[in-house]
A and B are shown apart, each in its own frame.
Chain A
Amino acid sequence: MKSFIAASGVIKIDRYYEKNLKTLAREALESIEKSYAEDLVPDTLIISSMTPELVDYQSSIADLIADHLGLRKIRVYRVEAGEASGLAAVQLAYSLTTSKASKRVLVIGVDKGSEMSVSRMAGVYGSIKDSEYMQLQGITPLAEAAILAKLYMKKYNYSYEDLFIWPYTMHQNSLETSHAQLRFRISPDSYKDSPVLAEPLRLLDSYPLGDGAAALYIVSEDAIERSSDAIVSIEGFGGSVDSKDIASREDPLLFRSVRESWEEALSMAGIERRKIKYIEIHDNYTPNAFIILESMGLAERGEAPERLENSSIEGVHVNLSGGLKARGNPWGATGIYQIHEVFQALLGSFKSSILGEIEYGAVHNMNGTGDSSYVIILKRVR
């Protein structure tokens, strides 16, 4: 049994002071309805969201949104796996549709990352770490990434300027991404002039706080509409974890959760890595991007900054959307945006001038500093 993505839709990631979680979710659904010829008749709704309790005093988000969307006779779930909630939700949709528990699943990722002041949102994001340890010390994933950057630069002999290639490339990529939060070029000077958040990392090494909503319509094999001229299947997935803090890892410059989820997904899809021509990775902080690529084996350890050329590494195009730095990172919605991008690329309607026709694409979605990772491999089958 396989599971198929029938349609996807997103809204532009932005600061929407005038819109709540329900409105954002509805707009993502409307974006699907605009592009999909058939009626949407989901029997299951999965909401992927990281922070409704902390940001909106809202628990029980799934039935609330179902009600707001006017959905009845539908089973609802909410998936929360930090920043990686999106891919965790898609993997649940896969399981439901392949086990015949559901036929048509609507997955909506939604979060409001720009609701309060930057320091409040830093605390909300920091809540993904152990509340009896790192949170009480004020230590956030940003601080961990800064320490990783220093370890990485020392071990592999890079200057801070050498790392610039990543944010530079990401901002270049987002210029043509209509749903990206930030669509502007950056220069080496703007990089060095941007404020330091955790030395050596600066504003442009992080991701912008934004609100977003993205939706997928995932169906079982017997629910594929005959009229669909393109079919994309979920060929493989994987997920894994690591120690919550970088201090209790044998080798902090390798994300074990990335390596294990990547290998598991490839093995389930039963393909060689070289078949995959496009991947979106969860580059929440600049050093993490290089560590992710190396943990996937797309570059030797310490070589990712040198191997990256025009957003391509080892024959794979990486983060053509602009990634978390430029497309944005609305937490629970991020993985759904990533799937939308790769799905649309397989259909030939996203970045096709760069990619041409491709058969395979992949998504990597991660929580924190490699705390957990999920990978999904998609294939265009028709």
Chain B
Amino acid sequence: MLRRSPAKIWRSRDILYRLKYATCKSCGKAFYPPRARCVYCGSQDVEYRYSSGRGVVKEYTILYQTPSGFGDLSPLIIGLVELEEGFSMLAQIVDVEPDKITPGMRVEAVLRRLVVDGSTGLIYYGIKFAPAEGMR
């Protein structure tokens, strides 16, 4: 079901693998994925940076009704993660039992398999979050 061209994944590498985000020089807020205008104040005066990948879990859910292609990893733990650069993003949380996750838990970005394309066998990778060093 999930069919993506290799070119598309390559094109998205800064967002998928390096957590490229935007920070607004007008209102000071940061956001992900990067957009040309600030999502908070509309300013075009934005600057692109790369995140350290360190953050905290603000909230999470355990997703049982997963889209096809994600079945072998199901259920997925989906977290709302706030990065230390001030922006928040949604991502999978791994390497931890759901009952051990608490809001405020420190996490860090890890590169993991996201999904396998059923028709070509291509494996797509991307950022997930695991408990930070010392928390595991």
Of B59, B61, B87, most A-chain CB atoms within 10 Å: B61
Quick check: is B78 within 8 A (CB to CB) of the other chain?
A: yes
Bound CA span A245–B67, Å: 17
Bound CA span A123–B4, Å: 13
Quick check: is B2 within 8 A (CB to CB) of the other chain?
A: yes
Q: What 1/0 mask marks residues of chain A from 239 to 253 whose CB sits below 8 Å from any chain B CB?
A: 000010111111000
Looking at the assembled complex, report how far the CB atom of A189 sits from the nearest CB atom of chain B, in whole angstroms. 20
Looking at the assembled complex, report how far the CB atom of B29 sits from the nearest CB atom of chain A, in whole angstroms. 8
Looking at the assembled complex, report how far the CB atom of B27 sits from the nearest CB atom of chain A, in whole angstroms. 10
- Which chain B residues border A130 with CB–CB below 8 Å? 33
Q: Is the CB of B63 within 8 A of A138?
A: yes
Q: Is the CB of A137 within 8 A of B114?
A: yes
Bound CA span A119–B59, Å: 24
Q: Is the CB of A146 within 8 A of B63?
A: yes
Q: What 1/0 mask marks residues of chain A from 193 to 218 whose CB sits below 8 Å from any chain B CB?
A: 00111111100001000000000000
CB-based nearest A residue for B32: A248
Quick check: is A224 within 8 A (CB to CB) of the other chain?
A: no
* 7 CB < 8 A contacts A-B: A132-B12, A133-B15, A136-B115, A137-B91, A147-B61, A198-B78, A199-B61
Quick check: is B110 within 8 A (CB to CB) of the other chain?
A: no
Interface size bucket, A side? 35 or more
Give B contacts to A, CB under 8 Å. 1-2, 4, 8, 11-12, 15-16, 31-33, 39-40, 59-71, 73, 76, 78, 80-81, 87-92, 114-115, 124, 126, 128
Q: Is the CB of A133 within 8 A of B33?
A: yes
Q: Is the CB of B66 within 8 A of A122?
A: yes
Q: Is the CB of B32 within 8 A of A139?
A: no
Q: Is the CB of A245 within 8 A of B63?
A: no
- Which chain B residues border A231 with CB–CB below 8 Å? none
- Which chain A residues border B33 with CB–CB below 8 Å? 130, 132-133
Q: What 1/0 mask marks residues of chain A from 128 to 154 whose CB sits below 8 Å from any chain B CB?
A: 001111111111101110110011000
Q: Is the CB of B59 within 8 A of A123?
A: no
Quick check: is A117 within 8 A (CB to CB) of the other chain?
A: yes
Q: Is the CB of A123 within 8 A of B61?
A: no
Looking at the assembled complex, report how far the CB atom of B126 sits from the nearest CB atom of chain A, in whole angstroms. 6
Q: What 1/0 mask marks residues of chain A from 105 to 127 whose CB sits below 8 Å from any chain B CB?
A: 00000000000011110110010
Q: Is the CB of B64 within 8 A of A198?
A: yes
Q: Is the CB of B80 within 8 A of A140?
A: no
- Which chain A residues border B76 with CB–CB below 8 Å? 138-139, 143
Looking at the assembled complex, report how far the CB atom of A147 sits from the nearest CB atom of chain B, in whole angstroms. 5
Bound CA span A149–B135, Å: 27
Looking at the assembled complex, report how far the CB atom of A245 sits from the nearest CB atom of chain B, in whole angstroms. 6
- Which chain B residues border A201 with CB–CB below 8 Å? 61
- Which chain A residues border B128 with CB–CB below 8 Å? 137
Q: What 1/0 mask marks residues of chain A from 142 to 178 whose CB sits below 8 Å from any chain B CB?
A: 1110110011000000000000000000000000000
Q: Is the CB of B65 within 8 A of A120?
A: no
Known: A119-B66, A123-B2, A139-B92. 15 other contacts (CB 8 A): A119-B71, A123-B1, A131-B4, A136-B16, A136-B126, A137-B92, A137-B114, A137-B128, A139-B63, A147-B90, A150-B60, A195-B64, A206-B65, A243-B39, A247-B88
Could you say which of A123, A142, A248 contacts B31, with CB atoms under 8 Å apart? A248
With A126-B67, A144-B90, A246-B90 known as contacts, the answer to whether A137 contacts B31 (CB < 8 A) is: no
Of A123, A138, A197, A250, most B-chain CB atoms within 10 Å: A138
With A132-B33, A246-B90, A248-B32 known as contacts, the answer to whether A138 contacts B61 (CB < 8 A) is: no
Of B64, B67, B87, most A-chain CB atoms within 10 Å: B67
Could you say which of B1, B64, B66, B91 contacts A196, with CB atoms under 8 Å apart? B64
- Which chain B residues border A133 with CB–CB below 8 Å? 15, 33
With A133-B33, A137-B114, A245-B90 known as contacts, the answer to whether A147 contacts B64 (CB < 8 A) is: no
CB-based nearest A residue for B69: A123
Q: Is the CB of A117 within 8 A of B12?
A: no
